[in-house]
Amino acid sequence: MATSTRALLLLPLLLLFLLSRSLSLRADPGAAVSRIAFGSCANQSAPQPVWEAVVGFDPQVFIWLGDNVYGDNKRPFRVFGRERTVGPWRNVPRFYPSTEAELRRRYEMAKAKPGYAKLRERAQVIGTWDDHDYGLNDAGKEFGGKVTSQRLLLDFLDEAEDSSRRQQAGVYASYMFGPEGKRVKVILLDTRYHRDPLSSDGAVLGDPQWQWLERELHGPRSEITIIGSSIQVISNLSATTGPLFYVESWARFPRERERLFRLIDSSKRNGVLFISGDVHFGEISRYDCGAQYPLYDITSSGLTQSVENSVPSVFQPLMRLVALLTPTTLRVFSPNCRYKSCTYGQPNFGAIEIDWNAVPPQIKLELRDVEGNSVGGVEFPISELDPSKAHAITKQGHSYQRHCALETELPWLVRHRLALLLFGTIAVLVIAVVLLGITCLSAANIFTKKSKME
């Protein structure tokens, strides 16, 4: 009886030991990594049910891609008055930074979310930042609070006090996971600390980060190399959405993006793909003319913020129609995507699954909804991302030219289709209202004259 009682008492300790051993194995850089999750744009003040789905995916690594918290503040839209935030006469910026204490408090709120806390127990969490956790909407190197923001982000990510990330200007970093033959390298870029203004076509990374990135791409080989960028790399969407709106992306810095593609190509590194965030919708893009094999960009945005949730539900189908009508040459269209056009406007997270045991090994890149269901994805052999086999793959019938033309190369009428549709619709409505008004006035005049005659 005493022995069985002692065994019962020891059982919880044994289970705890096994659990802690299992958790430590998941974060072990020497263990093969087969499941990686990633995401961006998580408002710390909003409900975050998506974490249950992320935990259910059971990732070994989770990657933050920016806007991990919303650390800046936003004034309301005002066209008139002392604090005009929109229009040609605005006299105050719409966004302004938080104090250090407030930004720290928001990180603490995010870290305390039960679902996220559960994820931290089960997976290694790494990440970079974007503008709102950097400290100010759309900000670049000019932002004065970036040193403080860097310290607070690294605290949030539990970065060691002696980490090189705490000594350098910027939060870029790299990680290598897995044994030889099953290696996954993760390179996280900092697209804020050294970035020039959006309209400048200047620098995105800055010279020290470019030199570091070149060393990383020419360094020890890996079967897969995931480059995390807070802003989209492949998508050239802004070329077709202006002048209605513009999104931040590498496409706004064409010389820097071309330099990035040239560096990947010259490194002869196989298995390179991009993951990104920022835009409040999910998207899968592909560019076949940046290297000797297709370059994919899987954009997951956001964990709480999404374009469809920003409008009443009755207008959400219209948002999907707009996504379908947006001229694009780089977006993937696939029956595996819920709306065929591989975009998704509801909260989502990204999922990467690697089947090392398949012959040949396979990789699956997905967007998943808050229930954990796939809403879009592509799957292919890892060998498809091998520059030495690019010619053989082309011969097998892959339509590479289909994803080579940039949106900026589209005819003017096609590129501005959305703007023309919107302004045309408004013009038709205005004309219809004017004609209706004229008709009503004419009818009223006829009625008045008839009444007088009677």
Coil/strand/helix, residue 205: coil
228's enclosing H/E stretch is strand 224-229
| Tokens matching residue 385 | 């991302």
More confident residue, 416 or 126: 126
Separation CA 251–CA 263 (nearest Å): 16
Contact criterion met (CB below 8 Å) for 119 and 171? no
Residue carrying the six token digits 């289909």: 402
Helices 254-267 and 207-218: crossing angle in degrees, nearest 10, is 20
pLDDT at residue 372 tops 80: yes
pLDDT single digits (tens) 75-104? 998 988 888 998 888 889 999 999 999 999
| Tokens matching residue 79 | 């066209």
Q: Provide the pairing of β-strand 295-299 with 343-344.
A: unpaired
* pLDDT of the residue at 105: 98
Residues 6 or more apart in contact with residue 335 via CB below 8 angstroms? none
* pLDDT of the residue at 390: 60
pTM of the model: 0.89
* pLDDT of the residue at 289: 93
Give the E-state strand segments of 272-382 in sequence order. Answer: 272-276, 282-287, 295-299, 343-344, 349-355, 362-368, 374-381
Separation CA 234–CA 398 (nearest Å): 19
Residue carrying the six token digits 């919880």: 12
pLDDT single digits (tens) 31-81? 899 999 999 999 999 999 999 999 999 999 999 999 999 999 999 989 888
pLDDT single digits (tens) 212-251? 999 999 999 999 999 999 999 999 888 898 888 889 999 9
Separation CA 436–CA 395 (nearest Å): 61
pLDDT at residue 30 tops 60: yes
Residues in the chain: 454
188's enclosing H/E stretch is strand 184-188
pLDDT at residue 411 tops 50: yes
Separation CA 350–CA 62 (nearest Å): 10
Preceding amide of 397 cis, omega within 30: no
Average pLDDT over residues 295-304: 97
pLDDT single digits (tens) 164-188? 999 999 999 999 999 999 999 999 9
Residue 399's CB is within 10 A of a number of other CB atoms, namely: 9
Mean pLDDT of the chain: 90
Helices 114-122 and 2-26: crossing angle in degrees, nearest 10, is 90
- pLDDT class of 29 with cuts at 50, 70, 90: low
